[in-house]
Amino acid sequence: MEFKIIAKDKKSKARVGLLQTKSGSIETPFFMPVCTQTTVKYISSHDLQEMGAKAVISNALVLSLRPGQNLIKKFGGIGKFMRYQGVVFTDSGGFQMYNKSIYEKSDENGVLFKNPISGGKVYMTPEDDMKLQIDLNSDVAMCLDSMPLIEVSKEDVAEAVRKTGMWAIKCKIAHDELQKNIPKNKRQLLFGICQGGIHKDLRELSARHFAGIDFDGYAIGGLALGEEKEDEYAMIELAKNVLPEDKPIYLMGAGNPVELIEAISRGCDIFDSRFPTRNARNGSLFSSKGTVRLMNNSNRHSNEPIDSECKCFVCKTYTRAYLRHLLDIKDGNGLRLASYHNLYFLQDLMRKAREAIKKGKFTEFKKDFINKYKE
Amino acid sequence: MEFKIIAKDKKSKARVGLLQTKSGSIETPFFMPVCTQTTVKYISSHDLQEMGAKAVISNALVLSLRPGQNLIKKFGGIGKFMRYQGVVFTDSGGFQMYNKSIYEKSDENGVLFKNPISGGKVYMTPEDDMKLQIDLNSDVAMCLDSMPLIEVSKEDVAEAVRKTGMWAIKCKIAHDELQKNIPKNKRQLLFGICQGGIHKDLRELSARHFAGIDFDGYAIGGLALGEEKEDEYAMIELAKNVLPEDKPIYLMGAGNPVELIEAISRGCDIFDSRFPTRNARNGSLFSSKGTVRLMNNSNRHSNEPIDSECKCFVCKTYTRAYLRHLLDIKDGNGLRLASYHNLYFLQDLMRKAREAIKKGKFTEFKKDFINKYKE
């Protein structure tokens, strides 16, 4: 059993689980910093360990382009290559359909990517992608999915749902075959990803399709892309009603504190987003009282930490005035410190959420957090 | 007494001293990371503390442009602003005559700088510069000097020597006046800077001029700019023969490991340079066996650390292959790790040099180090 639910909230769908992987167990809900190219931007593996980030997500396609899967395979996989002692997820590359410098087109059998480094083309089938993720030796692989852009027509979303579903079956078969001789406790897990945008019928169709295949976990993809929060939450509820209750649910791309708490209360267990680090680099910092816009003039002389309630080394040490100056001169040290704080904030939020669920106080915790955050 | 010599090598001019400042004492010889804008590029104050960097050098003129001396003064000075527990030197801004985006021209009474941020002009007299450095509350201020570019004529160097000498007297008078009511142990120290390029007569003239003024320490400026090493060492010897034996000697701008050891053996005590961090960012890394060019193809698959003898956290953790990949993708984490290693290497080199001098084994240490470094 790869996922064990150890505590359930009575008034919501929030739960604490234990996800068991070949690199160790990790309590859900958790948030994964995005580690696309075997590093979180500006953040070292030591930093990740120190902030308590017990899982990260990398990107199989991007790594296959540089430094190449052979190099990482030779070093024993992503975790060993980057000297990270934790759980490593790999996204397939489906998300890179958002990245116009890489994505070219897709058809029935796979996706055509450009290699912006060599200038060459890579055609990736679901089967190739499974082989790639096994080579990268991540603990959890994601199915190759077709991720529609937010602005596309319903027809295009339907087409993405169809392709994603078809590829998922191919992924599952290939992945099982590749690992058939590997003992169960040494196996990479495989998560499916349902799509469907914010179209109820398509989302439900996709979720039902995935629920029918025995994946180790299920992701809800194609959300947290700028749609209305109400639509996002409605889609989560819909997918969650269909997907297996005893499997971990991974809401891809969500990284706003309130959004995370809302998703946890709707039964999501796993999260990732580049939002916290990208925002940090732009001076948008999390605090228990809501977003701090560091570059605002009011912070120019501020002797206060980013968040007086935060226990991270950045908040325990540096003033807003100093951090603001570092971002103002665009120094890498400032970019690191800001990124560290935002990631720590989410790790801490997940710790608090798990604790509240275990103590049967999640609803109060959620209410208090959101009220204070919106102040 | 601000400087006490506690050990002397018998076969060379190397010595270990104790420099006493209002922020504490520090053993010489030491190397200062360059912290121009209240941060070493990519390196936090925690990092500095952890690597044992007990002094840094910032730049008064640059800070006056951004974030402004009033802000830093309000926070209690550079050290408190950046939360650094160590000794802070400030350079006057003379070095910025090398920086064409800032330097405009100089005359008898001071220097005209452009403010690249506001577009305005700043005319700085030696007296203004002393006031500025006191506002910034550094532990050691440097006189305003006129630093000739390496390629200028002997006439221009002579003119720089003349101006630097004249300004030095003005600095000394203004600095004494500004601190006359401050108890001696709370006072900022002031170092003079002799110039003269690689012209023996001008260098000697300038050094003699400075030796005649009772500064707390003496810097040798205008070297380590690309001249031949023989010329540099000859100028150090010449200046050292003239400058007071019982005062700390600061060779400005030197940061190559062999150069540092050669300068220590010639009686220099204090160093700074942007060379280690700039080189690190370009993949040029120090090791006990000489420079490692990380981007060389031979390091692509290397499982080795940068320097197997180095005890820094980067060398204890990461492979050349991983660090090379991080520099290849130009990630800030890689730039930090490489910078950290190069700075640690020099801190460690200084520790070893001090130890060797104390044990009366500096000559052997120097020989061994240089032989191995050139391998």
pLDDT band for A375, please (50, 70, 90 cuts).
low
Beta carbons of A333 and B300 less than 8 Å apart: no
Q: Once rounded to an integer, what is the mean pLDDT over residues B233-257?
A: 98
Chain A / chain B CB contacts < 8 angstroms = 106
Shortest Cα distance, chain B CAs vs residue A45, angstroms: 9
Which of chain B's residues have a Cβ under 8 Å away from the Cβ of A75? Answer: 303, 319, 321-322
Answer yes or no: is pLDDT of B250 > 90. yes
Mutate to test the interface with B, among A80, A83, A85, A322 (most CBs of B within 10 A): A322
Count the Cβ atoms, other than its own, within 10 Å of residue A37. Answer: 22
Are A343 and A51 contacting, i.e. CB atoms less than 8 angstroms apart?
Answer: yes
Are A285 and A314 contacting, i.e. CB atoms less than 8 angstroms apart?
Answer: no
Q: Once rounded to an integer, what is the mean pLDDT over residues A69-94?
A: 96
Nearest CA in chain B to A71: B301
Q: What is the pLDDT of residue A94?
A: 74
pLDDT band for A356, please (50, 70, 90 cuts).
very high
Contacts of A216 (CB under 8 A, 6+ apart): A2, A3, A140, A189, A190, A191, A247, A248
Helices (H), chain B: 45-51, 60-65, 69-74, 78-81, 126-135, 154-178, 200-211, 229-242, 257-265, 275-281, 313-317, 320-328, 332-358, 362-373
Beta carbons of A325 and B42 less than 8 Å apart: no
Which of chain A's residues have a Cβ under 8 Å away from the Cβ of B37? Answer: 325, 329, 331
Q: What is the pLDDT of residue B115?
A: 87
d(CA A325, CA A338): 12
Which of A66, A326, A332 minimises the CB distance to B335?
A332
State how far the alpha carbon of B107 is from the alpha carbons of A150, B56, B110, B157, B162, in Å: 62, 30, 6, 14, 11
Q: What is the pLDDT of residue A98?
A: 73
Beta carbons of B75 and A319 less than 8 Å apart: yes
pLDDT digits (tens, 9 = 90+) for B49-98: 999 999 999 999 999 999 999 999 999 999 999 999 999 999 998 777 77
Q: Once rounded to an integer, what is the mean pLDDT over residues B309-317?
A: 98
Lowest mean per-residue pLDDT among A114-128, A199-213, A340-354, B294-308? A114-128
Helix or strand holding residue B30 (H, E): strand B30-33
Contacts of B152 (CB under 8 A, 6+ apart): B160, B197
Q: Once rounded to an integer, what is the mean pLDDT over residues A255-268?
A: 98
For chain B, the straight-line distance linking the first and the last C-alpha, in angstroms and rounded, comes to: 43
* B295 touching chain A per CB within 8 A: no
Answer yes or no: is pLDDT of A150 > 90. no
pLDDT digits (tens, 9 = 90+) for B149-193: 778 899 999 999 999 999 999 999 999 999 999 999 999 999 999
* A4 touching chain B per CB within 8 A: no
Who wins on pLDDT, A269 or A147? A269
Which two tokens mark B69? 């001396």
Q: Once rounded to an integer, what is the mean pLDDT over residues A303-318?
A: 98
Q: What secondary structure letter does DSSP report for B339?
A: H
* A75 touching chain B per CB within 8 A: yes
Say what the alpha-carbon torsion angle A282, A283, A284, A285 is, to the nearest 10 degrees: 130
Beta carbons of A40 and B81 less than 8 Å apart: no
Who wins on pLDDT, B106 or B260? B260
d(CA A242, CA A205): 9
Q: Has A91 been annotated as catalytic?
A: yes
Which two tokens mark B283? 């993949």
Q: Has B91 been annotated as catalytic?
A: yes
Answer yes or no: is pLDDT of B2 > 90. no
pLDDT band for B148, please (50, 70, 90 cuts).
confident
pLDDT band for A103, please (50, 70, 90 cuts).
confident
d(CA B109, CA A266): 71
Which of B38, B44, B319 minimises the CB distance to A325?
B38
d(CA B308, CA B288): 8
Which of chain B's residues have a Cβ under 8 Å away from the Cβ of A45? Answer: 317
Answer yes or no: is pLDDT of B1 > 70. no
* B83 touching chain A per CB within 8 A: yes
Q: Once rounded to an integer, what is the mean pLDDT over residues A165-189?
A: 97
* A67 touching chain B per CB within 8 A: yes
* A66 touching chain B per CB within 8 A: yes
Q: What is the pLDDT of residue A1?
A: 60
Who wins on pLDDT, B279 or B2? B279
d(CA B22, CA B270): 17
Beta carbons of B325 and A66 less than 8 Å apart: yes
Shortest Cα distance, chain A CAs vs residue B194, angstroms: 31
Instruction: Tell how strand B217-220 and strand B249-252 pair up.
Output: parallel
Beta carbons of A37 and B333 less than 8 Å apart: no
Residues of chain B with pLDDT > 90, as a percent, come to 91
For chain A, the straight-line distance linking the first and the last C-alpha, in angstroms and rounded, comes to: 43
Answer yes or no: is pLDDT of A290 > 70. yes
Which of A43, A300, A313 minimises the CB distance to B46?
A313
pLDDT band for B135, please (50, 70, 90 cuts).
very high
Q: Once rounded to an integer, what is the mean pLDDT over residues A256-263?
A: 98
Shortest Cα distance, chain A CAs vs residue B93, angstroms: 18
Domains (range + CATH), chain B: 3-273 (3.20.20.105), 275-369 (no CATH)
Mutate to test the interface with B, among A325, A328, A339 (most CBs of B within 10 A): A325
Answer yes or no: is pLDDT of A95 > 80. no
Which two tokens mark A345? 């904030």
Count the Cβ atoms, other than its own, within 10 Å of residue B99. Answer: 15
Residue among B177, B254, B265, B170 at smallest CA distance from B219: B254
Mutate to test the interface with A, among B35, B118, B322 (most CBs of A within 10 A): B322
Contacts of B120 (CB under 8 A, 6+ apart): B114
DSSP one-letter string for B154-194:
HHHHHHHHHHHHHHHHHHHHHHHHHTTTS-GGGPPEEEEEE
Answer yes or no: is pLDDT of A194 > 90. yes
* B313 touching chain A per CB within 8 A: yes
* A49 touching chain B per CB within 8 A: no
ipTM over 0.95: yes
Which of A67, A303, A333 minimises the CB distance to B325?
A67
d(CA A354, CA A362): 8
